[in-house]
Structure 1
């Protein structure tokens, strides 16, 4: 089974199992990682904002226009920011490293 690492807000690194077909958001919830996901992956908020380790960023599919629009609302946006609900685990992402941002902004209406 693929693995991924979450770097929590305090810098703690947690390696977890990342089942194929689950999103980064779903993997976080499965393991009790503090990643909100207020809209439950429907691309209506930015609360599942994560920062992808630069080594991994170019291995991901490009974000959709809708994801980019939501990312514009994210707190603490960085060059390698993505929404966790839009990254689905496959074999190529075994070892993926993502960092939780310092905070979130829920602009869901």
Structure 2
């Protein structure tokens, strides 16, 4: 099962197994990871699941679609390169080892 590392803004690390087919947001929610609010439940209708993706992983993720790009405009301190919405990243075996970091605060 793929292991995802979630890093809180304060540096606290959470390494959890996430079942393939789930999203990175669902993995955080189901494992009680703080800092990923997911107010819209994964519908790409808010930006409260915004994270920064570790640079080593950027080329391994599917590209952002236009809806995700639009929602990232509302994220707290978005980074044009590293910001992603965790509700839009489907977990696959290829994502084993993915590292994401939460911004200082969510909107």
Q: Same fold (TM over 0.5)?
A: yes
Task: Structure 2: state its 5+ residue gaps.
Answer: none
- 1:103 equivalent to 2:105? Answer yes
TM superposition shift of 1:60: 0.3
Alignment of 1:1-109 (within 5 A): 1-34=1-34, 35-78=36-79, 79-105=81-107
User: Number of residues paired by the alignment?
Assistant: 105
- Runs of 4+ aligned residues of structure 1 deviating over 6 Å after TM superposition are none
**Alignment root-mean-square deviation, CA:** 0.8
TM-score, with length taken from structure 1: 0.93
Secondary structure (helix, strand or coil) at the match of 2:60 reads coil
* Unpaired segments ≥5 residues, structure 1: none
* Secondary structure class of the residue paired with 1:56: helix
- TM-score, scaled relative to structure 2: 0.95
1:63-107 deviation line (CA, Å, top 9, x unaligned)? 1000000001100111200000000100110000000111112xx
Distance 2:44 2:3 in 1: 25
Deviations 1:4-52 (A, max 9, x none): 1011121011111111111011000111012100011111100000110
